Amino acid sequence: MKKLALHWKIIIGMVIGLIVGIIAIQIDGGSEFVKDWIKPFGTIFINMLKLLAIPLIVTSLIKGIADLSDISKFSRIGIRTLIIYLITTVIAVLIGLTLVNVFQPGNGVDFSSMESLTEAYKGSAVDKMTIAKTTGPDAPLQFLVDIVPSNIFAAMSNNGNMLQVIFFTIFFGISLLLLPDETVGPIKKLFDGLNEVVMKMVDLIMLVAPYAVLALLAALIVETQDGNLFIAMIGYAITFVIGLILMIGFYLLVVYLYTGKSPKFFMKGMAPAQLLAFSTSSSMATLPVTMERVEEHLGVDKEVTSFVCPIGATVNMDGTSLHQAVAAVFVCQVLGHDLGIGDQLTLVLTATLASIGAAAVPSAGIIMLVIVLESVNFPSEYLTLALAMILSIDRPLDMARTIINVSGDATVSMVVGKSLGMLHEPHPKEWDDFTENL
């Protein structure tokens, strides 16, 4: 009998998790039981994936760069990656702006209903505003200063400093590439071995993914606020989801036209990573699985995936940038803050740059939304109310946009791989083989 594929196991886990959550909220003490005895297993799973994020980036990037034949090959990969990421981000923002201006979901929202959300989400909104104030750059080139760490060990102690880790790792890898093999050969072998160990750890963690997804979704159901609060937000949510669907369609079209691979091939290859992204709402937590799927199931060479995917998990946030465009215009429509053509062009630029700086963690886009709104002179007295509106329905939408983020990383990996002749027929490993070796 053919063994069940991983993505089907994850889907089954999601369905069971939803059922468990729904049953739990109908039973006295059920919600507390899920929070105390089921949710911790999902939290442990996410922590384990985050635990591997920095080791995976360091070992895979250094190995990938060191394996290149010369520095010019690295520059070709790097330049193409950043240009394509920038293009896809701008397209995502433009799709979001087009949809929100066409459907205008904010014009039909009951303002009194929105005011009722202020108290429910005031604390979270204030927290996001506080973080945004410390996130915003103090000078035009501050973002460049922030990329260069003063202490690499301090940078590695926080997943939020991923750009600093990537900077050091690329610097280290380039230095290896410029030295003769007889000098750095042992170091290359060390990182080759470390990379294999980290990838094996990813394989082992993924054995429990279906059960972890069950725990995460069950906890989400019991922790969700009363659905009546979300009725006024349906138009906004539908507009946003349509944008996400269009972005997926855009990715599939690019993959088909440029690489010749069918939509079914892409979606089947990325399904486990997409489902995990939906469950965790974190591109960084999903990164180990994204890299494995892109390399083993989409056929992109490791030299490309080891550079493109870690960079993408940090700077390529197409789902986040699309969300910021839709959310910013939506709240402006609700609160009567008119946006001219110039303001919307400013939104394109700010949302693009803000998405690059967004941490690959749940709800990071809300923090960046503050910066986006301030760029179009949004009234500060309405900022708490605006964030309360978005936060009231952000969790499920955050889960959905993370799918776009990881799908975008995979798309760019395939495009870069094809352009450099580093795309081949995949040779997937069977996940169930690992259980037999335990």
pLDDT digits (tens, 9 = 90+) for 209-237: 788 888 887 887 776 544 444 554 678 88
Name residue 107's amino acid. N
Element (DSSP H or E) covering residue 7: helix 6-24
What's the length of the chain?
A: 438
Q: Is the pLDDT of residue 116 over 60?
A: no
Query: What pLDDT, in 10s, does the model give residues 324-377?
Result: 888 888 888 877 777 777 778 877 777 776 665 554 444 456 666 776 777 777
Please determine, for residue 178, whether its predicted confidence score (pLDDT) is greater than 70: yes
Instruction: Let me know: does 342 contact 312? Beta carbons within 8 Å.
Output: no
- Lookup result for tokens 């972890």: 212
Give the phi and the psi of residue 423 in degrees, each rounded to 5: -120, 125
Count Cβ atoms within 10 A of the Cβ of residue 89 and give its class: 0-12 exposed, 13-18 middle, 19 or more buried: buried
Tokens of 313: 């998990």
Q: Is 120 exposed, middle or buried (0-12, 13-18, 19+ CB in 10 A)?
A: middle
Q: What are the extents of the domains in the chain?
A: 6-422
Residues 133, 134, 135, 140: what is their CA dihedral angle, to the nearest 10 degrees? 90
Query: Residue 319 corresponds to which amino acid?
Result: G
User: What's the gap between Cα 99 and its chain centre?
Assistant: 22
Give the range among 272-281, 282-291, 343-352 with minimum mean pLDDT. 343-352
Domain 6-422 - what CATH class? mainly alpha
3-state secondary structure (DSSP) of residue 392: coil
> Which position has the token pair 């450099």?
420
H-helix segments, 67-110: 71-103
Q: Is the pLDDT of residue 414 over 90?
A: yes
Cα R_g (the chain), whole angstroms:
22
Q: Copy the structure tokens of residue 80.
A: 């193409």
CB atoms within 10 A of CB 307: 25
Cβ neighbours of residue 195 closer than 8 Å, sequence gap 6 or more: 59, 60, 63
Q: Two tokens at 392? A: 């009231």
Q: What is the pLDDT of residues 244-267, one digit of tens each?
A: 999 999 999 999 999 999 999 999
Looking at the DSSP bridge assignments, the partners of residue 423 are 300
Q: How far apart are CA 105 and CA 99, in angstroms?
A: 9
Residue 114 makes CB contacts below 8 A (sequence gap 6+) with 232, 334, 385, 388, 389
DSSP 34: I
CA-to-CA separations, 64 to 67, 191, 405, in angstroms, rounded: 5, 10, 22
How confident is the model at residue 155, as a pLDDT? 82
- Close Cβ partners of 430 (under 8 Å, ≥ 6 residues apart): 3
Compute how many other C-beta atoms are within 10 angstroms of the C-beta atom of residue 12: 14
In this structure, the number of other CB atoms found within 10 A of the CB of residue 128 comes to 26
Per-residue pLDDT tens digits for 18-51 = 888 889 888 888 888 888 898 888 888 878 877 8
**Percent of the chain residues topping a pLDDT of 90:** 15
- Token pair for residue 382? 């309405």
* Cα–Cα distance for residue pair 405/321, rounded to 1 Å: 10
pLDDT at 438: 38
Angle at which helices 394-419 and 364-375 pack, to 10 degrees?
Answer: 90
The owner of tokens 């489902």 is 275
Inter-CA distances, 345 with 93, 234, 350, 423, Å = 10, 26, 9, 36
